[in-house]
Amino acid sequence: MRHRSPLPEVREEETPLTSARRLWALLRGGIRATTEKMKKEELKAAQLTHGLQHLRHLSFPQPVRHVAYNSSTSLFVVLDAESQLHLHKEDGWFSHGTQAPEPIAGLLYATQVNKYVAWDQGSLQVLGPAFEVLSKVLAPHGICCCRYSPELNQVVTAGAGSLSIWAFRYGFSQLQCQATVQQGLSPRDTFTRLALDTCVPQKCFAACGTGVAVFNISQGELLTFQRDLHNRAITDIVYCEAGACVVTASRDTTIKVWDEKWLIQTIFVGHTGPVTAVTIYPQGPLILSASQDGTIRTWNLQTIDQVDEVHVAEVVEHLQTHPEGGYVVSLTGSTVDLWKVNQLYSLHTRLGAAVTRLCTIDLSAVGSFPVRAVCACQDSTVRLVAAHTGRILSTLLLDRPCQAVEVAYCLPKETLFVLLELGQLLRVNAAVNPMSVKKMVAPWSESARPCCLLVYSHIVDPKKAYAQWREIVEQKGDKKSWAQLPLKYLLVLGQEDGSLCVLRWFTGRVQYQVEAHGSERVTALAAYPHDTWIISAGGDRTVKVWRIFPYIDECLTLLRSFSLPVPAWAFHPLPEAVMEPLSQAFLEEHFAAGLGSPAQGIDGLPQPGSDNCSYWWVCRAALDRHVLSGLQARTWPGVCTVL
């Protein structure tokens, strides 16, 4: 057990000056320790995961009743059972606290008027920004729950057998009852939860037992009372604007989604205990629910399935979200937890099998071409996907168990090249669905087997290329003969024997072959049409830059090369925003320090200020580092934080 160090002993002969110095040193040491602790906490590495991420755990001396969010000051206001107000910043750090002027049971923030509304069972109070009482009005029908409508700038309260609508008056400092709805209700109809939609006229959904009453709060009337929606009592209700639906949670362990006609859209089943709370995440079509089974689960309204599950130590009693900050707040006894939903990815399209190879083709910089993605899957298929919509355009069906190890797609010609496990190369018409194989080229020998490939697109006239693409799409394939095809699109293969091979488009015959990486296999290829470059990496631990001349047979000429301690396996271009010019001396020194000897490592690099330079990533899995090569070279352990 840790004990605090006792205060220094005060000597009898201590003067006021020495006493002041001693106490000041004690205070300074305590402040320094606290500051360092806070700094250490802030600099703690955050685990970046998809889904619900915990931000802060707050404990209070008394049970928590409500949490309000002030969007103008970005503060959470926590109300406890003793009517004490605790104000916390968005990151959870404590700001200050105060006592409510009178005992209250609930609190909300009215965004349109910058006022707080507090209530108890028999009255409503309007509080100023500093929680001073501006007015108090009696609620003769009682208050069990309360909601604020920013669209109408009104407050809705509900109790036993009644629902009341309140409007701000007298400079927004007082609430006045506009209407009370009792017709069609009985004193036994006690409402426990309220939800408001955003339509015109605005409706209020009030949960009562196993049913929901729907009110038109603009007209102050009961529209319908849907009973027996669940087998057991409804514990929470929310309205989802994205789906125009009502979501109810119940003690029967289910979450039901209802349309405007109260027909079931879907039922989410997965909780093993009564569902205690439900809320809608404002930044996406997600439902978050808490249950007595000790979990908070996330459900996707688009895919109709569970997408996340978080286990908590105690049962969550209430969940709420705040659209302004995108935070999720969970209440449990005398604790409050702040959460955030990380949308690291979203489901774009279902492929039905795991993806083994993915490549994206984006020619938007040179024309009006759409963006495409090619996915090689484990089920012996290759799928062409529209990147923006996720729609599967066409599929290549291979004979099982044959697998595609590399793919290269030429969008302007709607031609796909597929490299198979045994070295066969397929030329495929991607303009039809399913795709059709037009040509298969077998490997020339075991040592000359292709291991990687790319399509080099030399587009000099984007408008003409786009018009040709539209014609090919309409004709369901390229009908031209190879003799009439200008050498604007080149197929380049990297082979096991370390050579680069350029093939003729339609026949698959060798147009030009050059030794590149000795007898070691080619490990990676990348094309940079803007610079008329091709970059290759091989098992000989070299990276070579080739100038390409698309209109002649001998189309590859070595431009420069450099060495690495281990083979490179992938390239990726860098945006200009993260570049800065560095000297040749820095480059050589950095290679000597981190990558090896510059004498045998760098060959023919451009000088600073030269226009003939480029930047690319060389990713090396063995060292778990990322190297920026070209005019500058740097290494970062692990993930590059510069980006």
What is the per-residue pLDDT across 215-262, written as a single tens digit (0 to 9) for each?
A: 999 899 999 999 999 999 999 999 998 888 999 999 999 999 999 999
Dihedral (Cα; 7, 8, 13, 18), 10-degree rounding: -100
Q: Show the DSSP H helices in 437-547 as ranges.
A: 462-475
Band of pLDDT at residue 367, cut at 50, 70 and 90 = confident
Radius of gyration of the chain (CA): 34
Residues 134 and 351: their CA atoms lie apart, in Å, by 60
What is the per-residue pLDDT across 418-432, written as a single tens digit (0 to 9) for each?
A: 999 888 899 999 999
Longest dimension (CA), the chain: 107
Name the residue ranges covered by the structural domains of the chain. Answer: 348-515, 524-643
What is the per-residue pLDDT across 141-187, written as a single tens digit (0 to 9) for each?
A: 999 999 999 999 999 999 999 999 999 999 899 999 999 999 999 99
On whether the CB atoms of residues 111 and 127 are closer than 8 A, the answer is no
Its pTM stands at 0.60
pLDDT of residue 325: 64
pLDDT of residue 16: 86
Once rounded to an integer, what is the mean pLDDT over residues 57-68? 94
Is 248 or 599 the better-scoring residue by pLDDT? 248
- Which of 441, 471, 456, 470 is CA-nearest to residue 410? 456
pLDDT of residue 480: 62
DSSP 422: T
Once rounded to an integer, what is the mean pLDDT over residues 593-611? 38
Once rounded to an integer, what is the mean pLDDT over residues 46-62? 84
Band of pLDDT at residue 264, cut at 50, 70 and 90 = very high
Half-sphere exposure (Cβ direction) of 64: Cα atoms closer than 13 Å: 24
pLDDT of residue 29: 86
Run of H or E including 26: helix 16-42
pLDDT of residue 104: 95
CA 26 to chain centre: 47
Give, in order, the Cα–Cα distances in Å from 238 to each of 137, 189, 244: 28, 19, 11
On the question of pLDDT at 486 being above 70, the answer is no
Band of pLDDT at residue 479, cut at 50, 70 and 90 = confident
pLDDT of residue 613: 39
Classify domain 348-515 by CATH number. 2.40.128.630
**Mean pLDDT rounded to a whole number for the chain:** 82
pLDDT of residue 232: 96
On whether the CB atoms of residues 207 and 256 are closer than 8 A, the answer is no
Q: Which residues neighbour 16 within 8 Å (Cβ) at sequence distance 6 or greater?
A: none
Is 537 or 79 the better-scoring residue by pLDDT? 79
Indicate the range of 205-209, 354-358, 627-631 predicted with least confidence: 627-631
